[in-house]
Amino acid sequence: MNTDALKSKYEKLWRDTCEKVHAIHVDPLERKWIAISLLVIALLVTIITIDALFHGINPPSKVETIDSASLHLNKEFAEENLGVQVDDKGNITIRMVAGRYSFFPKHIDVPAETKLTFRWVSMDVLHGVHIPMTNMSTMIVPGYVAEVTTTFPKPGEYPILCNEYCGLGHNHMWSNISVIAKEDWKSPLKTPATGDKQ
Ligand SMILES: [Cu+2]
């Protein structure tokens, strides 16, 4: 089939489709609402695109992989490296492991009104983490590192809940965070993990 024949075939198909669409009776009011809903979708897609391009909005995980079976041997998530760590520039990173049925470490102290970077990994199955009153809500997929940056505006006790069904003990899977006033918080004396990623 040469290109002209192909072109005329598709033109005919396009004309037929247009005719069929025009033959459908759509009430003028309905037509208006279709236009409005399409405009709303277009507006939302535009906002998301602009946000993604200019504000660097990404899904929480940057597709960083890790071997869940050897977390205890992995330098970054070895037991002694878990919890709150402060690097030379004062950036605070919190490394936590989710496993049936708890978050480890069980308890951490963090300062209020400070940018905190949480790095989560799962040692077994799919878990989720949710801290009410914050933007912390992410899946913890085995084999991947989930990174979320958040700030606690006020001191207080915050629960950490698992929000992905992970087994019979799922409803007991929770820990808590003590958020301490910025001036009262003391940074833990730990050597920062070098971030040995696999
Ligand atoms: Cu769970």
The rounded Å distance from CA 24 to ligand 1 centre is 50
Q: What is the pTM of this model?
A: 0.66
The overall longest dimension of the chain from CA atoms, in Å, is 79
| Cα 129 to middle of ligand 1, angstroms | 8
CA-to-CA distance for 12 and 34, rounded, in angstroms? 27
Measured in Å, residue 131 CA sits from the centre of ligand 1 at 14
The amino acid present at 194, given as its one-letter code, is T
Output the CA 139–ligand 1 centroid distance in Å: 10
Question: What separation in Å is there between the alpha carbon of 195 and the centre of ligand 1?
Answer: 27
Ligand 1: centre distance to CA 168 (Å): 9
Q: What is the per-residue pLDDT across 8-60, written as a single tens digit (0 to 9) for each?
A: 999 999 999 989 988 888 899 999 999 999 999 999 999 988 888 887 666 65
Q: CA separation (Å) from 96 to 110, 125, 138, 177?
A: 13, 15, 13, 12
Domains of the chain (ranges; CATH) run 3-54 (no CATH), 64-184 (2.60.40.420)
How remote is the CA of residue 123 from the centroid of ligand 1, in Å? Answer: 13
Instruction: Please check the confidence at residue 197 and state whether its pLDDT lies above 50.
Output: no
